[in-house]
């Protein structure tokens, strides 16, 4: 277990509706610095909506979210500030197909962090080395395999030097052979002390890396706990049913 | 790698060696005929397909024969084309000043050649493709020479009688064509037979093919004898080939020399810097060619440098210096606003300035003053509430936008108005693209160039021309067509992109305005817009503002094609997945940044074929300006030459129109092939 520092993300009673459908029914949790939280649950349970609220890709209607002491309000300055500190990795990679791998990675550092191009490229190449594909820097995303694309997406998020990384089902669109290479990168990231929230169906990853597991259903946290507690001794009937179906 | 049977299965092992694909069975002529001419699974289908092949081959041969009979008929007076080439290209442009036209083409050649080198255009063409192309060309040429029957061109439907002897004086040309065609076809076929599939691997640079074609054309200009009109022959009206041999040859050599100059420059200077310089030169070459080189303006130095009746601040130099320096300071600061207090002060000062400005202008309607006061008050409030640098940038952006709107309601010289709008546009973009020192320097360069461009356009547009010609404008013929096409496309693209963004905006007012514009403009024919620009626009402009007719027509064409560009781009915007927007937002890019760096490049790539189509349409639609009396190349060819020029050319309208059709085709076809190559180099549809 990593040693968990001061609170990094605070959520209090977060509620979110899509039209009449209530996607989040009051989510309250605190995620500490360097903590790795894995969010699991059936589809439509609100787990993706929850992490998308944290960097304001979805707007929550009630409750409070604060990231690194910055309140997430309608104030554009706070939203910009939070997005600079929170990196995100998507299920469908969302790399920019018209830019090379290196340009994908250096884009935000150059235009948002205002780094010089040489500086950004140096950092970009180092990050590509870290995710294990330094030789792909000048290729286009369409020329890479799914696993490589997702690793580029991770490097792209890391290039902004974020304090928190959000992963929205990062391995769901990948062939089984490529899942491991992405999970390895994420494990290495977790060990380096990054604060991470990971929505995933990879129970092995949850068991091995997570400090805490949140189980979502019907827009709320049904049960939470350490991986041991969660996988060996789940309390709630819904959790037991879910685990029995996927394990 | 032996199979190892186990109790549950068999291990086959991995095969790492690659086997060569089996050679395809040899394709004899019989196989080719069966697969291409009489394909089909059953006898009936083969019979039917064979019949179709024969029928359509007859139709195709008849068409070629019709065209060749028309071209080579003894009644054709092609001298009407060759002798009036100057008229068709530049209309009434004075002969003594023709070097200005050559100079313009020369600048274009040099820029193209250096750019080809700077961007490293190096596509290669396989010899196999080249040989097959030459073979087809040869067969076609031979067919063209052979198929000319002793028929009148009116006999479109006739059995294909192959007749080599013809009663015309064209037989020499046709024999030459036939020999060239046969030599090409046989030579290419022999090469293909000798090398076989290996020719696919060998290739030559695409550019050398281009140079070879240009060299052949240059050689032809020197050797070909052009038809001479009947009757007296005026030396001054010599066929174009005899007067253009030297300029074209010089241009050809200059082009090649420039390419190697470019290659050398790429090695000496940094490629990125050279490319930026070239972009700058491309943008500036165009107004310089039109306004300075071709127009030969008479400049009023008092207007230009101040002194005399014009105060220095209102002279071109004064305006340039004041806008460059004052605007430049603001840009510099906006692109890296570190000092919050300064920004606050600036916003308050600007707000106060605008509010006072509204009241100071006496003649202005009162509501102008009210708007100005409200805007100023809003800015002062904004200045007092400013919290950080991003907000200052936003405030300055809105000040600029408000100022750009206000200038339409406040009487002031049009030049000032344009400068304020330019300032607004650059100032809005500056905070998003500023930041590092190089980025800020880039913004300063863009700003100063924009000021220079605007002022130069106005000064040169106002200046009288020193050319002597008997026409309303120095532009005519193909020169006018090119100007209308390039300007129309260059202006309608940004306008169309803005309209497309507005139409997909979340703000209802933008959607409403843009949708209204597009639907209104598209529902009215271009000719109506041209009439509008020609006769009615003056009624809608503020008093004292007058434009040259050419400018008004360019405006009408721009307004029209922008609507089509907008709809194409909107189609591209719809093809961008939501994930791209989300990824850009999650990285903290601003809306301006994600639109211009992520969304728009992809949207435009997606609809590039459609945009190429609309460029071609704009190019051809310029011929409609004939209706309002401008002499474009088509009007000259179909009316001026057959009715008003030399009597020996009377009644040559059909062949002039035939020639013009071919002329347009050569340009649009070249453009569409180049666009296709560009699309391929972008890897459209692959990544």
Instruction: Locate the chain A residue with the closest alpha carbon to B603.
Output: A98
Phi, psi of B6 (to 5 degrees): -115, -175
Q: Is the pLDDT assigned to residue B388 strictly greater than 90?
A: no
Look at A108 and B587 and tell me if their CB atoms are within 8 Å. yes
Taking the CA of residue B599 and the nearest CA in chain A, the distance in Å comes to 9
Chain B CB contacts of A86 below 8 Å: 586
Question: Which has more pLDDT, B65 or B524?
Answer: B524
Q: Which of A51, A96, A115 would you mutate first to test chain B, the one with the most B CBs within 10 A?
A: A96
CB nearest to B598's CB, from A57, A96, A117:
A96
**B433 touching A, CB under 8 A?**
yes
Q: Nearest 5°: CA angle at B392, between B387 and B393?
A: 140
Mean pLDDT of chain A: 90
pTM for the structure as a whole: 0.81
- Beta pairing, strands A62-67 & A70-71: antiparallel
Look at B687 and A83 and tell me if their CB atoms are within 8 Å. no
Please tell me whether residue B465 adopts helix, strand or coil conformation: strand
Look at B602 and A97 and tell me if their CB atoms are within 8 Å. yes
Q: Is the pLDDT assigned to residue B600 strictly greater than 60?
A: yes
Taking the CA of residue B598 and the nearest CA in chain A, the distance in Å comes to 7
- Contact assessment for residue B655 and residue B80, using Cβ atoms and an 8 Å cutoff: yes
The pLDDT of residue B365: 56
- The H or E element containing residue A195 is strand A195-199
Percent of chain B with pLDDT over 90: 21
User: B544-569 pLDDT, tens per residue?
Assistant: 556 677 888 888 999 999 999 999 99
**B389 touching A, CB under 8 A?**
no
Cα–Cα dist A162/B209, whole Å: 52
Phi, psi of A62 (to 5 degrees): -130, 160
Q: Write the secondary structure of A90-110 as one string of H (helix), E (strand) and C (coil).
A: CCCCCCCCCCCHHHHHHHHHH
Distance, C-alpha A124 to centroid of its chain: 20
Taking the CA of residue A131 and the nearest CA in chain B, the distance in Å comes to 19
Instruction: Locate the chain B residue with the closest alpha carbon to A88.
Output: B586
Look at B589 and A95 and tell me if their CB atoms are within 8 Å. no
User: B120-150 pLDDT, tens per residue?
Assistant: 776 778 888 888 889 999 988 888 777 765 4
Look at A142 and B580 and tell me if their CB atoms are within 8 Å. no
Mean pLDDT is highest, among A79-93, B236-250, B315-329, for: A79-93
Chain B CB contacts of A115 below 8 Å: 436
Q: Which of A58, A98, A155 would you mutate first to test chain B, the one with the most B CBs within 10 A?
A: A98
Looking at the DSSP bridge assignments, the partners of residue A38 are A198, A213
**DSSP-assigned letters across all residues of A99-141:** S-HHHHHHHHHHHTS---HHHHHHHHHHHHHHTT-GGGTTS-G
Residue B310 has what DSSP assignment? B
Q: Is the pLDDT assigned to residue B543 strictly greater than 70?
A: no
Instruction: Locate the chain A residue with the closest alpha carbon to B606.
Output: A98
Banded model confidence at residue A106, pLDDT cuts 50, 70, 90: very high
Mean pLDDT is highest, among A30-39, B51-60, B204-213, B427-436, for: A30-39
**A57 touching B, CB under 8 A?**
yes
CB nearest to B586's CB, from A88, A97, A107:
A88
CB nearest to B391's CB, from A77, A84, A98:
A77
The interface predicted TM-score of the complex, written ipTM, equals: 0.92
Neighbouring residues of B108: CB distance < 8 A, sequence distance ≥ 6: B285, B289
Q: Is the pLDDT assigned to residue B166 strictly greater than 50?
A: no
Taking the CA of residue A84 and the nearest CA in chain B, the distance in Å comes to 5
CB contacts under 8 A, B 563-592 vs A, are 577, 579-580, 582-583, 585-590
């Amino acid at each position: 277990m990593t040693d968990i520092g001061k609170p990094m993300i605070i959520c209090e009673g977060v509620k979110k509706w899509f039209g009449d459908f209530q996607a989040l029914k009051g989510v309250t949790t605190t995620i500490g610095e360097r903590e790795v939280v894995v969010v699991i649950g059936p589809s439509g349970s609100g787990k993706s909506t929850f992490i998308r609220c944290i960097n304001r890709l979805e707007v929550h209607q009630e409750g409070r979210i604060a990231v690194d002491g910055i309140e997430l309000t309608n104030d554009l300055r706070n939203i910009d500030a939070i997005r600079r500190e929170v990196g995100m990795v998507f299920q469908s990679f969302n790399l920019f197909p018209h830019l090379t791998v290196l340009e994908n990675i250096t884009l935000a550092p150059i235009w948002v962090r205002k780094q010089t191009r040489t500086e950004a490229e140096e950092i970009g190449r180092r990050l590509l080395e870290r995710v294990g594909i330094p030789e792909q820097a000048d290729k286009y995303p369409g020329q890479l395999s799914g696993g490589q694309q997702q690793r580029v997406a991770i490097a792209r998020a890391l290039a902004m030097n974020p304090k928190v990384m959000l992963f929205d089902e990062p391995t769901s669109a990948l062939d089984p052979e490529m899942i491991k290479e992405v999970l390895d990168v994420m494990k290495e990231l977790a060990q380096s002390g990054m604060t991470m929230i990971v929505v995933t169906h990879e129970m092995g990853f949850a068991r091995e890396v997570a400090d805490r597991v949140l189980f979502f259903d019907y827009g709320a946290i049904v049960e939470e706990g350490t991986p041991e507690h969660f996988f060996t001794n789940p309390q709630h009937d819904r959790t037991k049913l879910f685990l029995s179906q996927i394990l | 790698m032996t199979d190892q049977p186990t109790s549950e299965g068999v291990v086959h092992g991995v095969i790492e060696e690659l086997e060569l694909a089996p050679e395809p069975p040899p394709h004899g002529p019989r196989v080719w005929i069966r697969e291409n001419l009489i394909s089909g699974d059953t006898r009936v289908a083969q019979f039917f397909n064979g019949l179709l092949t024969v029928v359509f081959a007859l139709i195709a041969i008849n068409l070629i024969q019709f065209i060749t009979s028309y071209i080579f008929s003894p009644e054709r007076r092609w001298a009407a084309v060759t002798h009036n080439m100057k008229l068709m290209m530049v209309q009434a442009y004075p002969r003594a000043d023709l070097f200005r036209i050559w100079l313009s083409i020369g600048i274009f050649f040099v820029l193209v050649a250096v750019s080809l080198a700077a961007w490293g255009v190096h596509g290669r063409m396989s010899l196999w493709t080249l040989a097959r192309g030459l073979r087809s060309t040869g067969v076609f040429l031979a067919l063209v020479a052979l198929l000319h029957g002793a028929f009148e061109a009116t006999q479109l439907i006739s059995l294909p009688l192959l007749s080599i002897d013809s009663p015309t004086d064209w037989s020499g040309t046709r024999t030459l064509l036939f020999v060239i065609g046969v030599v090409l076809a046989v030579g290419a076929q022999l090469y293909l037979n000798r090398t076989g599939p290996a020719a696919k691997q060998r290739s030559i640079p695409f550019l050398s093919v281009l140079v070879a074609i240009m060299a052949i054309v240059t050689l032809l200009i020197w050797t070909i004898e052009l038809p001479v009109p009947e009757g007296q022959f005026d030396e001054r009206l010599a066929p174009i080939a005899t007067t253009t041999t030297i300029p074209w040859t010089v241009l050809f050599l200059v082009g090649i020399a420039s390419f190697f100059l470019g290659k050398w420059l790429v090695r000496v200077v940094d490629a990125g810097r050279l490319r930026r310089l070239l972009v700058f030169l491309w943008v500036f070459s165009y107004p310089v060619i039109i306004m300075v080189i071709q127009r030969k303006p008479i400049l009023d130095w008092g207007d230009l440098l101040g002194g005399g009746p014009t105060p220095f601040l209102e002279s071109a130099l004064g305006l340039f210096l004041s806008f460059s320096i004052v605007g430049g300071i603001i840009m510099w600061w906006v692109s890296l606003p570190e000092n919050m207090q300064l920004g606050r002060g600036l916003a308050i000062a600007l707000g106060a300035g605008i509010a006072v400005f509204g009241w100071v202008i006496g003649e202005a309607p009162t509501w102008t003053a009210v708007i100005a006061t409200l805007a100023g008050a809003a800015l002062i409030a904004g200045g007092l509430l400013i919290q950080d640098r991003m907000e200052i940038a936003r405030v300055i952006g809105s000040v600029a936008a408000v100022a750009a709107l206000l200038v339409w309601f406040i009487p002031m010289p049009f030049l000032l108005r344009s400068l304020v709008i330019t300032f607004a546009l650059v100032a809005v973009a500056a905070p998003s693209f500023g930041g590092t020192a190089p980025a800020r320097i880039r913004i300063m360069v863009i700003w100063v160039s924009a000021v220079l461009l605007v002022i130069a356009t106005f000064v040169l547009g106002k200046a009288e021309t020193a050319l002597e010609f008997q026409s309303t404008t120095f532009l005519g013929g193909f020169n006018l067509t090119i100007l209308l096409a390039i300007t129309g496309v260059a202006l309608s693209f940004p306008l169309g992109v803005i309209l497309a963004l507005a139409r997909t905006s979340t703000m209802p007012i933008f959607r409403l305005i843009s949708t209204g514009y597009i639907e209104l403009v598209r529902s009215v024919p271009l000719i109506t817009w041209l009439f509008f620009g020609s006769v009615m626009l003056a009624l809608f402009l503020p008093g004292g503002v007058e434009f040259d007719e050419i400018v008004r027509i360019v405006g009408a064409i721009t307004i029209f094609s922008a609507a089509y560009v907008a709809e194409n781009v909107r189609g591209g915007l719809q093809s961008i997945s939501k994930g791209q927007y989300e990824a850009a937002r999650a990285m903290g890019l601003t809306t301006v940044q994600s639109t211009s760096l992520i969304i728009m490049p992809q949207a435009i790539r997606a609809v590039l074929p459609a945009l190429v189509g609309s460029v071609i349409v704009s190019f051809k639609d310029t011929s409609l300006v004939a209706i309002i009396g401008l002499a474009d190349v088509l009007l000259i060819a179909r009316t001026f030459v057959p009715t008003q020029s030399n009597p020996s050319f009377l009644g040559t309208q059909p062949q002039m129109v035939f020639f013009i059709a071919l002329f347009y085709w050569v340009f649009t076809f070249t453009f569409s092939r180049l666009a296709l190559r560009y699309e391929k180099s972008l890897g459209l549809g692959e990544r």
